[in-house]
Amino acid sequence: MSTIDISEKLILEAWKVRFRAYMDLLKVRLSALVTFSAVFGFILGHSGQVFSWITFFGLIAGGFLVSGASGAANEIMEREYDKLMKRTQNRPLPLHLISVREAYWFTIVAALLGILLLAFFTNWLTTGLGVLSMVLYVFVYTPLKRVGPIAVLVGAIPGAMPPLLGWAAATGGISYEALIIFGIQFVWQFPHFWAIAWVSDEDYKKAGFKLLPSGGQKDLNTAIQIMIYTLFLLPLGLLPTYFGFTGLNSGIVATICGVLFLAQTFSLMKDCSRKSALKIMFGSFLYLPIVQIAYLLDKI
C-alpha cells in the first residue's frame, strides 16, 4: 500500500470518527424515540382528515433536529460533569473528539434548522411547542438536575411533549385527546427517570445530580413513589378507550402492560436492589412504545 493510500485511509477514518461524534452529540437513538412519539401523536390525531405527507415528513425532520439540538446543548452544558461518570465519559466532548466551539455551532444550526422545518411544514402551534420543549429541557431541566428531584417534574414536561407536537401538527390545535396522550407520557416519565437514577446513583452522585425523591435515598419511600406513579398508568392507559378515540383492544394491551410494569415495582419495594430497579428501567423502555403502537393499530 502506497503512502498516498495510507493517507487517504487515515483521512477517511478521521472523518468517520468526526461524523460519529456529531451523531453522538445529537443523541440519535433518543431523538429517534422522541420522533416516534411525535409521529404517534400525528397519526392518532388524523381522524377523517386528508393525510399530509409534507407535514408528516416536516414533523419528522424538524422534531428530530429540535430533539437532537436539545440533547447536544445538554451535553455542552454538562461536559465537565460527563467526565466524572462512567456512563458519559466516552461522549464526544469529554474525549475531545470535537471542540466545544464546533459543538456550539453544530447545535445552533441543528436547532434553527429544526425550528424552520416545523414552522414551514407544520404550523405555529407545533413550532411554539417545540421551542418551549427545547427551552425547558436545556435551560430549566438541565441546571435543576444538580438542585434536586424537582428536575424530574420539570423534565417530564418536555419529555411528554412529542405526542402533543404530533397532534398539534395534525389538527392545528390541542384537545382533550391530546392532553390524555400527553398525560400518559408525562406520568410514565417518573418511574422511568427514577429507575435510571436508582441504577446510576453512584455515577450521578459523582456529578452532583440529585434526581431521586425522598432525600435522594434508594429506600422503601422512593420505591413506593415509583410504585404510585406506575399505578396511575393503569387508569390513564384506559382513557383513550373510554373516550372512544381508540378501541377496546388497545385498552386491554395498555392494562396488561400496566399490570406487568406495576408488578416490577413490588420487587423493588421488597428488596430495594439495583437489579429490581434495572428491571423497572427496562420495563419502562418497553411499556411506552408497545402501548403507543397498540393505540395506533387500534386506530388504523
Q: Are residues 132 and 36 in the same domain?
A: yes
Which residues, 6 or more positions from 112, have their beta carbon under 8 angstroms from its beta carbon?
none
Cα–Cα dist 63/48, whole Å: 24
Residue type, 272: C
Residues 145 and 68 in one domain: yes
Q: Are residue 236 and residue 97 in the same domain, yes or no?
A: no
DSSP assignment of 217-251 = --SHHHHHHHHHHHHHHHHHHHHHHHTTSS-HHHH
Q: Report if residue 150 sits inside a domain.
A: yes
Give the pLDDT confidence score for residue 7 in this predicted structure: 63
Q: At residue 30, what is the residue type?
A: L
- Asked whether residue 3 is assigned to any structural domain, the reply reads no
- Written as nine digits, the cell of 225 is 413513589
Q: Does 71 share its domain with 82?
A: yes
Residues 83 and 137 in one domain: yes
Of 152, 173, 194, which marks where a domain is finished? 173
Q: pLDDT in tens for each of the 300 residues of the chain?
A: 555 555 666 667 767 888 899 999 999 999 999 999 999 999 999 876 678 899 999 999 999 999 999 999 999 999 999 999 998 899 999 999 999 999 999 999 999 999 999 999 999 999 999 999 999 999 999 999 999 889 999 999 999 999 999 999 999 999 999 999 999 999 999 999 999 999 999 999 999 998 999 788 899 999 999 999 999 999 999 999 999 889 999 999 999 999 999 999 999 999 999 999 999 999 999 999 999 999 999 877
Q: What pLDDT score was predicted for residue 46?
A: 84
- Can you give the C-alpha Rg of the chain in angstroms? 20
Which amino acid is present at 185? Q
CA-closest candidate to residue 35, choices 19, 12, 59, 3? 59
In this prediction the pTM is 0.93
Last residue in a domain, options 129, 152, 173: 173
In terms of phi and psi (left: phi > 0; alpha: psi -120 to 50; beta: otherwise), the region of 214 is left
295 plus 256 within the same structural domain: yes
Rounded to the nearest angstrom, the gap between the alpha carbon of residue 226 and the centroid of all alpha carbons in its chain is 18
User: Quick one: DSSP state of residue 137?
Assistant: I
The Cα 76–Cα 93 span in angstroms is 7
pLDDT of residue 216: 80
In this structure, the answer to whether residues 194 and 298 fall within a common structural domain is yes
Alpha carbon distance 169, 144 (integer Å): 30
**Cβ distance 31 to 68 under 8 Å?**
yes
Tell me: do 134 and 279 sit in the same domain.
Answer: no
Nearest to 202 by CA among 287, 86, 110, 118: 86
Q: Does 192 share its domain with 71?
A: no
Q: Quick check: helix, strand or coil at residue 127?
A: helix
2: in domain = no
CATH number at residue 47: 1.10.357.140
Q: Domain tally for the chain?
A: 2
Q: From start to end of 78-199, where are the E strands?
A: none
Residues 155 and 16 in one domain: yes
| Residues 158, 16 share a domain | yes
Q: Does 232 share its domain with 126?
A: no
